[in-house]
Amino acid sequence: MALQATTLLPSAFSVPKEGKANKSFKDSSLFGVSLRDCVKADLSSLSRCKSKSSQWKPSAGAVRAETMVATPAVNRVMPEGKKTLRKGSVIITGASSGLGLSTAKALAETDKWDIVMACRDFLKAERAAKSAGIAKENYTIMHLDLASLDSVRQFVDNFRQSGRPLDVVVCNAAVYQPTAREPSFTAEGFEISVGTNHLGHFLLSRLLLDDLKKSDYPSRRLIIVGSITGNTNTLAGNVPPKANLGDLRGLARGLNGLNSSAMIDGGDFDGAKAYKDSKVCNMLTMQEFHRRYHEETGITFASLYPGCIATTGLFREHIPLFRLLFPPFQKYITKGFVSEEEAGKRLAQVVSDPSLTKSGVYWSWNKASASFENQMSQEASDPEKARKVWEISEKLVGLA
Ligand code: LMG
Ligand code: NDP
Ligand code: PMR
């Protein structure tokens, strides 16, 4: 796919693909945005709404690190006798900082969500939730370390024991190791960025699919956070090192750095590339879920680029000079900057907005913060690659 070479000019916004006007837009060029809010939301899944009430009651005996008990998710009867929808039940991974935390906050403020913050550091998550001012009746913290597949399975067991319904899953957590010279590895020996960002989430979402299927909530969603930097049809995605999964030979051999490369394409280790590759896997996984399960289940599978949230903990391992210059660079030069609060509102829309139920899509936002359906790079939208990544990943995580 041709790179949008026009992108350094402020006036050069994304051009819709022929025949796809009003549908697909590329990640913006300089700004990561398009001028046009073009989405015709597919509201069809709303028609699946059932009125059955949930059986869930907060369970005091659940085996998990939990201090907060949420409001029972039952249909509430209004004074006039009208039933209102029960609270939605959402799991957000990596909700202890950055985008995950601000999304939890945005959802909590609506009082319509019971939020499970799935975090590796319980105390950090608890402090984060408190200092963000999230009301305690709206959230529960459960332990999840995506860098351990045992922990992922344990989390799913704990979640099920809590007796909650499951309506939405947000795969948000990620690690980024831009300065690492040598790879580090997950508990099972996978390179840590792909192991955490992709394989941990892959197992988690595969297991939780059964729970989503059981939900009686009007719109069930599985959301996986993607990024512009994994998309080589953008300027940002062309800053070296570029994402490239190659023929997946490293992934197929287990990314263990021993008898195989730690990189998906089998090349030399590069932490920034591993992160971008993991984001490509996230976007491919979302589409493969869509192809395999949307029609059968009605579940919405979506990905997104929330904007450049240059202030988050994602850049904690970058050199201090980068952390100093990156926010003003994004704010004043690329204008791709978005605050944590704004990005959280964007992801909260993908969780709960009745107009964002379309499945198989990658959402982005324009400068007025209106969502639009964006186009991913050729590699990130390659169905054959998506199938191969899916099949290799299910072997690696022990599902096949
Ligand atoms: C790698 O370096 C690191 O090695 C790695 O560890 C990891 O951090 C990784 O992506 C993360 O980055 C990338 C490095 C090298 O880029 C830099 O950050 C160096 C800065 C180079 C300075 C360029 C001047 C920009 C002016 C901005 C001044 C503001 C200063 C704030 C800086 C904050 C930090 C971001 O990258 C390079 O090799 C440099 C190339 C940079 C441009 C890449 C553009 C891709 C070109 C694609 C073609 C575009 C087509 C457009 C055509 C236009 C026609 C007019
Ligand atoms: P942060 O570092 O602030 O948040 C990442 C979260 O992931 C943290 O809560 C972190 O936990 C958690 N996490 C990391 N490793 C694990 C693990 N092994 N198990 C469980 N949780 C883990 O970064 P952001 O908020 O920026 O990133 C959130 C998402 O947004 C990521 O998917 C990222 O790729 C994406 N994104 C970010 C952009 C940006 O500009 N910042 C742009 C585009 C996409 P802890 O708090 O314990 O460290
Ligand atoms: Mg990038 C043109 C717009 C643009 C946008 C929207 C981003 C987003 N970046 C842009 C441009 C550039 N960046 C340019 C021109 C450069 C060279 C100066 C540049 C550099 C750069 C670096 C070194 N950018 C980075 C880094 C990182 O380490 C970040 C990264 O790649 O992490 C994987 C990053 C990012 N730039 C972005 C976004 C969203 C990131 C954060 C990473 C992500 O989550 O995808």
Instruction: Give pLDDT tens digits for 345-379.
Output: 999 999 999 999 999 999 999 988 899 999 999 99
pLDDT of 38 strictly over 80: no
The residue-averaged pLDDT of 281-306 equals 98
Atom 44 of ligand 2, residue of closest alpha carbon:
227
Q: Which of 136-140, 159-163, 254-258 has the lowest mean pLDDT?
A: 254-258
How much distance in Å is there from the Cα of 180 to the middle of ligand 2?
Answer: 17
The residue-averaged pLDDT of 251-273 equals 94
pLDDT of residue 85: 79
Ligand 3 pocket: which residues have CB below 6 Å? 30, 32, 176, 178, 227-229, 235-236, 239, 272, 275-276, 308, 318, 334, 336
Residue 333: CB within 6 Å of ligand 1?
yes
How much distance in Å is there from the Cα of 312 to the middle of ligand 3?
Answer: 13
pLDDT of 44 strictly over 90: no
Maximum alpha-carbon separation in the chain: 68
Q: Are 364 and 371 in contact (CB under 8 A)?
A: yes
Identify the CA nearest to 169 among candidates 108, 116, 244.
116
How much distance in Å is there from the Cα of 334 to the middle of ligand 3?
Answer: 9
pLDDT of residue 84: 66
Residues 6+ apart with CB under 8 A from 261: 249, 250, 253, 255, 267, 268, 269
Q: How far apart are alpha carbons 92 and 215 in whole angstroms?
A: 17
Residue 5: CB within 6 Å of ligand 1?
yes
Ligand 2 pocket: which residues have CB below 6 Å? 93-94, 96-100, 119-121, 124, 144-147, 172-175, 196, 225, 227, 279, 305-306, 308-310, 312-314
Q: What is the mean pLDDT of the chain?
A: 84
172-209 tens-digit pLDDT: 999 999 999 999 999 999 999 999 999 999 999 999 99
- What is the rounded (10 degree) CA torsion for 224, 230, 236, 242? 160
Instruction: Ligand 2, residue 196: give the atom nearest the CA.
Output: 18
Q: Are 384 and 291 in contact (CB under 8 A)?
A: no
The position carrying tokens 């379309």 is 358
pLDDT of residue 367: 85
pLDDT of 300 strictly over 60: yes
Q: Which of 58-72, 242-256, 296-310 has the lowest mean pLDDT?
A: 58-72
142-151 tens-digit pLDDT: 999 999 999 9
Q: How far apart are alpha carbons 71 and 83 in whole angstroms?
A: 16
Ligand nearest to C-alpha 93? 2
How much distance in Å is there from the Cα of 95 to the middle of ligand 1?
Answer: 30
Q: Cα–Cα distances in Å, from 43 out to 2, 21, 216, 218, 298?
A: 33, 20, 17, 11, 11
- Count other Cβ atoms within 10 Å, centred on residue 268: 9
Q: What angle do CA 134, 140, 144 make, to 5 degrees?
A: 120
51 — pLDDT class (breaks 50, 70, 90): very low
pLDDT of residue 80: 53
Is this prediction's pTM over 0.90? no
pLDDT of residue 67: 31
The residue-averaged pLDDT of 325-339 equals 97
Sign, CA torsion 21/379/221/126? negative
Q: Which of 15-19, 220-224, 273-277, 281-285 has the lowest mean pLDDT?
A: 15-19
Look at 19 and 127; give whichever has higher pLDDT.
Answer: 127
Q: How far apart are alpha carbons 285 and 144 in whole angstroms?
A: 20
26 — pLDDT class (breaks 50, 70, 90): very low
pLDDT of 27 strictly over 50: no
pLDDT of 29 strictly over 60: no
pLDDT of residue 133: 97
Which of 176, 193, 239 should be mutated for ligand 1, with most atoms under 8 A from CB?
239
How much distance in Å is there from the Cα of 54 to the middle of ligand 2?
Answer: 32
How much distance in Å is there from the Cα of 345 to the middle of ligand 3?
Answer: 21
12 — pLDDT class (breaks 50, 70, 90): very low
pLDDT of residue 16: 32
